[in-house]
Structure 1
């Protein structure tokens, strides 16, 4: 995928310690409420007709409003996502050429597990929900192998050939 290289390393793990040549800009954060999908008219056959959002796009929009990511969206994020909703509507009306642009846009918001990993997003509740066992619920490696000890000093395990 063009323009998507590996995520940068955390500051403490970088080999080079020189400062960034471009200073960081710190912005004041203001959470914004999600807008409703707007009513508007489009030109069709020389006349203005009411645009009807596909039901699938309405469901998609509701999903984004309820997503954990939405807690971190500002007004410009919602406006970008609103424009993305129009692309989503095009796709669900059969315009398959909209698919690649839609994929790129929703990736910026962490739509898939791979997108969230690249953006370094994690779900906080996941850590406590599985008691640190991972998503499968199986015992961790430490629980399975915690009592194993290495044999040193030239001793071999019982039954092992030397």
Structure 2
């Protein structure tokens, strides 16, 4: 409630100001287009053989290209994600030791709801899609209870002289 409590301390006298000790570097933003998964050769048993991307990794790559996050990826992001695709391919070829590194890398891009919450990402359509009605689509609390008023003699009126 407004007006309750003491006068706030002058900001210049506060002991804790939560200022960054290191200044922020502002970079020029440059969106980059997603690269295709490359064709290349790997050495196997002393011979060079064509690397074949697992179908699951191709699907995973297409998912990232069409994700909302992709609108905010620069060239270095796509290169990091391309390296991550190799780890994804290792996992889907049966190398379960790749799972931990894959989880850490995709978390940096907001792969799960928890990752997006930690990165403070929200979907723009979600803000206006329900017109403030919440996820149920029903009337908001303000619409349901906005006309309610306290009755005389209610708990807040007890003990007051009339």
- Per the normalisation by structure 2, the TM-score is 0.80
User: Runs in 1 of length 4+ with deviation above 6 angstroms?
Assistant: none
**2:24, 2:115 → 1: CA distance?**
23
Aligned to 2:36: 36
Structure 1 alignment gaps of length 5 or more: 1-14, 158-162
Distance 2:75 2:93 in 1: 27
CA distance in 2, matches of 1:138, 1:96: 45
Q: Report the RMSD for the aligned CA atoms in angstroms.
A: 1.8
| Structure 1 position 125, deviation (Å) | 1.1
2:82 is matched with which residue?
A: 82
Larger of the two Rg values belongs to structure: 2
Give the Cα separation in 1 of the matches to 2:89 and 2:21: 42
Residue aligning to 1:55? 55
Deviation for aligned residue 1:68: 0.7
Gaps of 5+ in 2: 1-14, 156-162
Aligned-pair CA distance for 1:58: 0.4
Q: Which residue of 2 aligns with 1:123?
A: 123
* SS of equivalent to 1:110: coil
Provide the TM-score with structure 1 as the length reference. 0.80
The corresponding residue for 1:105 is 105
Per-residue deviation at 1:128?
2.0
Q: Indicate the structure whose relative CO is greater, using CA pairs within 8 Å and at least 6 residues apart.
A: 1
Q: Deviations over 1:122-149 (max 9, x none)?
A: 1111122222222232332222322222
What is the DSSP-based 3-state SS (H/G/I as helix, E as strand, rest coil) of the residue aligned with 1:43? strand
Paired with 2:50 and 2:92, the residues of 1 have a C-alpha distance of 17
> How many pairs does the alignment contain?
141
